[in-house]
Amino acid sequence: MSYQALFFDNDGVLVDTEGLYFEASRSVLAELGIELSHETHLDISLRQGKSVFELALAAGIEEAALPALRAKRDARYSQLLARGVAPIDGVLEALGALRQRHQRAGRRMAVVTSCLPEHFWRIHQDRSVIDFFDLVWTPDRYGPHKPHPEPYLTAAAELGIAPANGVAIEDSPRGVASARSAGMYVIGMRSEFAGEAVDLSAADVVLNHIGELVAHLERF
């Protein structure tokens, strides 16, 4: 196949922030006497694509209290991000190689993420990663989140390409499902946080590290 654009997820693919998000959620739930283990977080958040605050509902917390709990989690996540987040090893090298090749071929690169804009731009405040991209597509730019296909459909439309001419790089089942439903070729990328604990078998291929991405895309 040939492609006209690459679409990257952010957390777990470009930056290793998933552990920080887990810690922020874990600490808020712990104050309610609710234990959130690493495995439970992977199951609810990455496998099922749901909110870990459903554990609070199951523990008898009123639904009306959830927005305040999420706001507290988001504030703690911001504090953790403020310490600085480095790109995953190999990301800058891979993006540089792809960018150089894509400029010759007229291909584009985009980030399609569920990360809130305020968190995303805090993560990427030095722009060392983001300057490689033609488009950043955060949740304020689309409606339903992954696993719904809309994030990828609308990002492809913004770039002016057919979804079938896009390649998505994702590290979670919900992300893979989103890109697959949009009609894209999907590369599953193992993250350090999730390892092999999540099922990426619905992707067209699964890679263990972003360093493998450049060589894989040379086939197209």
Task: Locate the domains of the chain by residue range.
Answer: 5-16+87-217, 18-81
- AA letter at 55: L
pLDDT of residue 104: 86
Local mean pLDDT, 10-residue blocks, the chain (220 residues): 94 95 97 95 84 93 95 96 94 96 92 96 95 97 96 98 98 95 98 89 96 92
Contact 147, 177 (CB under 8 A): yes
Where do runs of H (alpha helix) occur along the chain?
A: 18-30, 38-41, 54-58, 66-81, 91-105, 117-123, 150-159, 173-182, 213-217
- Please report the pLDDT score of residue 47 as a whole number: 78
Residues in the chain: 220
What pLDDT shows up at residue 116? 94
Per residue in 58-73, pLDDT tens? 999 999 999 999 999 9
How far is the C-alpha of 206 from the C-alpha of 83, rounded, in Å? 31
CATH of the structural domain 5-16+87-217, one choice from 1.10.10.10, 3.40.50.1860, 3.40.50.1000, 3.40.718.10: 3.40.50.1000
Q: What are phi and psi for residue 25, nearest 5 degrees? A: -65, -45
Backbone angle region of 160, left / alpha / beta, with phi > 0 → left and psi within -120 to 50 → alpha = left
CA distances (Å), 206 to each of 169, 198, 199, in order?
Answer: 10, 12, 10
Pure H helices in 54-172: 54-58, 66-81, 91-105, 117-123, 150-159
Q: What's the pLDDT score for residue 220?
A: 86
pLDDT, position 10: 97
Q: Which structure tokens are listed for 145?
A: 């989140």
Q: Which residues pair with 152 in a beta bridge?
A: none
Is the pTM here over 0.85, yes or no?
yes
Instruction: Look at residue 195 in the predicted model and tell me its pLDDT.
Output: 86
pLDDT at 192: 87
